[in-house]
Amino acid sequence: MMILDDFHCDPEQKIWTGRHLLKNKWVLESNATLTGANLEWVVRLLCERAKDTGDCIKNTLNSLDELLVDISPGSNETFIGLGPSIMDCQR
């Protein structure tokens, strides 16, 4: 989300602009769709055989930033695509 002073219309319709609560301000938005749900699904899948599944899920989600901080993007050319999908109102 981005706050703007002027209205912006994306010709490709991949983001939308709405009125801000403050006068003469606009909000530029997009949507990451199911990113959080997909991440939670993977963590649940990885934790399903843990001794305490609930604890594993909670601890993994709470420490995810710590676990991933030292891994560079595209590390060893390994990629995963769980979202977000690109918003496209034309589809």
* pLDDT for position 88: 67
The percent of residues above 90 in pLDDT, for the chain, comes to: 41
Whole-structure pTM value? 0.51
* pLDDT for position 84: 61
Half-sphere exposure of 47 (CA within 13 A, CB side): 16
CA distances in angstroms from 76 to 19, 72, 73, 79, listed in the order given: 44, 9, 9, 9
Q: What is the pLDDT of residues 1-43, one digit of tens each?
A: 889 999 988 888 888 889 999 999 999 888 766 778 888 999 9
